[in-house]
Amino acid sequence: APVAPPSAAPATVAVVVIPPPPVASAACETYCDDMAIRCPDVFLGNRGTCLAVCALYPVDEVDIEKLQCRVFGQESDEPLPQPDPPPVETVIGPDPTQFWDDHPQLREDATVVPAGMGAVFLPSLGLDDREPLVTVFDGRTALAEGRPGRRIVVAPGTHTLRFGDGAEHQQVRVELNVEAGRTTVVPAAYAALEIQVVDPQFVPFRGTYELINMDDREVVGLGFGADALLGEQLRVWVLPPGTYKIVQSGGTYRDRTNFSTVRLLPGEMTRFVLVQNPDTGDFEGAGLADEGEPTDRTWNFTGILGGDVVFLRNAVAATSEGWSLVLNVFLDVAARMTAGDHRWVTRLEAEESQTRPSGESRLRNLKDRLFLHTIYTYSLVDWFGPYVRAGLETQILPRHAEFEAPEDVADENGDIIFTGVDRVQIADSFAPLEFIQGTGGNFKVFQSRTAELNLRLGIGARQLVANGLLVLQDGSPDRLVPVKDDHVEGVESTAIGQARVSRWITLSTEFDSLLPFDTGAPFIFTWRNQVNLRLASFASLTYRFNAVQNAALTLEEGVLTEHNLQLRFSYTLF
């Protein structure tokens, strides 16, 4: 019989019971709400995590109030250390490895960038009002402009930044990508150059030079030194890095004399000193400025002593008309103080001319002038600033009126006081004394390569102290009339112009006037003109034309004129 197979053992089924996740109690909900307020850094604001952790604690064994700011398994009450959040970069810098949001100039700039717009930022060179103008272009369309050290707001996109000196194709050009809500910092793809022109005594003056880019041999521009009399500041050239050649005005890159070179590095300010002869324009030295001994000293002093042979024609009061051969000695001394935007200049000019006509043994005084002038100016902007000035003009030696033949001289009443004399004294030393005061605005009207014009306009006053001065009036007989003291106030104006015809020829003019407030008082002016031909470093040929109108001094209406041609020899004292 068939054998029945053994019956299979009944199968055993294993049942795994998975306990339900802990359910947070109402106490946990209260606890987590409190945690969100007192300990936000523990669960980083995730309430679900807080409830799950809290549910792990048996409510009947652990006082939830004692958990404080602890998570499950934490032994202390100190909050869990959390990593710092990554900085949100709102600035695109040239170096992606640096965080540019902390740039001090960016922190100080409060320019608001509207939503959807971006900005461009060129770090300041520390030049104040000498900073270059920066223009942002989209193709050839100018989008915006500004100054370094402040954000320039533009629309997002790829733009060209252009700034610096020279023609359009010579300027610094930087391609930038601007993103909305972010500021793009311009890389240091530019350099700065400051050239100070000084004379051999290291006194700054307004000498000229030309700057040439040696990479393409193109002239960048004409530069000038700074004149303390006009309150000028040195120009700063902002240029692409490279090698530049400094030559005389009108020179070329081929010059082998009177030149110097300087190499400009990216992101650096180079200060350069050019020593130039003021008379010839020749370069006598050049190099980097010594930072330990600044060239722009606060005080500067100059002094020139000289003489000349003069062919003179006079038509002024109390002197003989006609041509004379005279010997002249002059002294010019100046002191200048420069401190930031403050300028103070004081000048002393003395000139004496004596002649001895043929057949005479005594000297005659033809020209006698002592002039002291001081002026303070403050530069509010490049072209304007206030001024205050004062001056004194007088004559040093006693003066006489000369007669061709002996004659009688009467006083102002017609009474004879001298009989048969060939000369009579009309003034003692320091007679008269003319005082000048004024205050107002100093304007730089025009300045170019070959000419410049400056104007002072304000309120002024003039005082005349006769100090015994007499005027000889024609008559039968001639009369000696005393000059009276005078005081007048009004609107003063001074125009000062210079022109450079060539390296050797210069022209200058100065017109100083006072329009009295008293409508009955006459107009007062002094007009001085000069044409100078430089023959050598120590000699020049100078033509002068002067005109004066001052009725209080001459006791007559009209303009007194003076012409003279001088062959001048000079020596620089300091």
369 Cβ contact list (under 8 Å, min separation 6) = 349, 350, 351, 393, 395
Query: Is 503 within a domain?
Result: yes
DSSP letter (8 states) at residue 449: S
How much is the pTM? 0.55
Q: Give the CATH number for residue 369.
A: 2.40.160
- Max avg pLDDT among 9-18, 198-207, 209-218, 529-538: 209-218
pLDDT at 295: 47
pLDDT for position 358:
62
1 occurs within a structural domain: no
Range of the domain at 225: 191-288
Residue 122 included in any domain: yes
Same domain assignment for residues 491 and 381: yes
Spatial distance between the Cα atoms of 210 and 191, rounded to a whole number of angstroms: 18
Q: CA nearest 126: which of 104, 144, 111?
A: 104
Q: What is the pLDDT of residues 394-403, one digit of tens each?
A: 999 998 888 8
Angle in degrees, 0-180, between the axes of helices 26-38 and 47-55, rounded to the nearest 10: 130
pLDDT digits (tens, 9 = 90+) for 104-123: 788 788 888 888 889 998 88
Q: How many residues does the chain have?
A: 574
The count of domains in the chain is 4
- Percent of the chain, pLDDT > 70? 77
Q: Give the pair of three-digit tokens for residue 464.
A: 């005349």
Say whether both 364 and 460 belong to one domain. yes
Burial (CB count within 10 angstroms: exposed 0-12, middle 13-18, buried 19+), residue 393: middle
CA distance 238 to 172: 8
Indicate if the pLDDT at residue 76 is higher than 70.
no
Residues 260 and 207 in one domain: yes
In a domain, 266, yes or no: yes
Q: Do the domain assignments include residue 4? A: no
**Same structural domain, 421 and 490:** yes
| Calculated CA dihedral for residues 296, 297, 298, 299, nearest 10 degrees | -130
Asked whether the beta carbons of 481 and 259 are under 8 A apart, the reply is no
CA gyration radius for the chain? 43
Do residue 331 and residue 441 come from a single domain? yes
**Is the CB of residue 326 less than 8 Å from the CB of residue 355?**
yes
Q: How far apart (Å, rounded) are the C-alpha atoms in residues 236 and 340?
A: 16
Residue 480 lies in a domain: yes
* 506 inside domain: yes
d(CA 400, CA 90): 84
Contact 347, 334 (CB under 8 A): yes
| Judgement on whether residues 333 and 468 belong to the same structural domain of the protein | yes
